[in-house]
Structure 1
């Protein structure tokens, strides 16, 4: 247990409810739960993302590993390979390695998106943040191509606190009753 929620930091199976887990606030890039502690899962990353309208999941990018996204609630726009595609609840997006993409919440309420990605992308993660005029219209593009996450997110994170771990905020996820 951390001051911001449950953190599992051992090997073996476990069960944790997303509401009880530790979350990370990325300010203008929304909030997410990874279910991971200091040790990342070796083969698969999974996040539950809560994005307010206008918030992007990150910056437009491509990476070596495949990723998948499932919109559980709300509306989003997918910017993929220079195209824009509207997404709504239960739309699934598959991005093979090397696919340039980003998701931005739209509509009048928060979007909830589950993101899953393969690990083992190699040294530096194999992520390239690329320039996209279309993504820039949504505030989700770098000004110049880079492989540095610190550089790609420098402006977005400059006003955020050093530690952005937070407790789950009531209302982020829908009630199941």
Structure 2
């Protein structure tokens, strides 16, 4: 148990409720729960992300690993291969390796998104943050292509507090909790 919620760092199976787990506040990149402690899951990453209107899951990018996203609540704009697509609750987006993409919460509505990604991004070149005009309209594009997260997220990270861990707050996952 951390001061901000449950953290599991052991091996073997476990059960933890997202509302009891530790969350991270990434400012304009939303709030998310990874269910992980210092020891990351070896084969895949998984998180629940809560986005307020206009917040985005990250910066427009492509990577060597596959990812998948399921919108659990609300509405999002998916920018995939430079084109905008609208997603609503229960829409599923499978993202094959090398597919450029990003998700942004739409207009006046928040969104809750389940994201799963294969580990091993460093294999064969990892992640590349690319320039995209459509993503740029949402503040989700880099100015110049880079493979460095510190460059891609420099402005966002500079404006965040040193510790971004927070406790779950009532209402993030549903109105009736």
TM-score by length of 2: 0.96
Which 10-residue stretch deviates more, 116-125 or 147-156? 116-125
8 Å Cα contact 1:59-1:142 kept in structure 2: yes
Change (3 A) 1:149 1:125: farther
CA-to-aligned-CA distance 1:50-88 (integer Å, 9 cap, x gap): 000000100000010000000010010000001110000
After superposition, the C-alpha distances for 1:13-58 in whole angstroms (9 at most, x for unaligned) are 0000000000000001110000000010000110100000000100
Corresponding residue pairs, total: 177
Query: How is 1:95-134 mapped onto 2 (pairs within 5 angstroms)?
Result: 95-122=95-122, 126-134=126-134
Distance of 2:154 and 2:66 partners within structure 1: 25
Residues 84 and 32 of structure 1: is their aligned pair in 2 closer, same or farther, counting only changes over 3 Å?
Answer: same
Q: Per-residue deviation at 1:121? A: 2.2
Q: Distance in 2 between matches of 1:42 and 1:49?
A: 20
Aligned 8 A contact 1:79 1:134 in 2: yes
After TM superposition, give the deviation of residue 125 of structure 1 in Å: 7.0
Matched, 1:40 2:40: yes
Alpha carbons 1:63, 1:97 under 8 Å: kept: yes
Aligned partner of 1:143 in structure 2 is: 143
**How far, CA to CA, are the matches of 1:7 and 1:113 in structure 2?**
21
- Residue 135 of structure 1: SS of its match in structure 2? helix
Q: Where do 5+ consecutive residues of structure 1 fail to align?
A: none
Q: Is the 8 A contact 1:74 1:107 kept in 2?
A: no
| RMSD (CA atoms) | 1.4
Q: Corresponding residue for 2:8?
A: 8
Alignment TM-score, normalising by the size of structure 1: 0.96
Runs of 5+ consecutive residues of structure 2 not aligned to the other structure: none
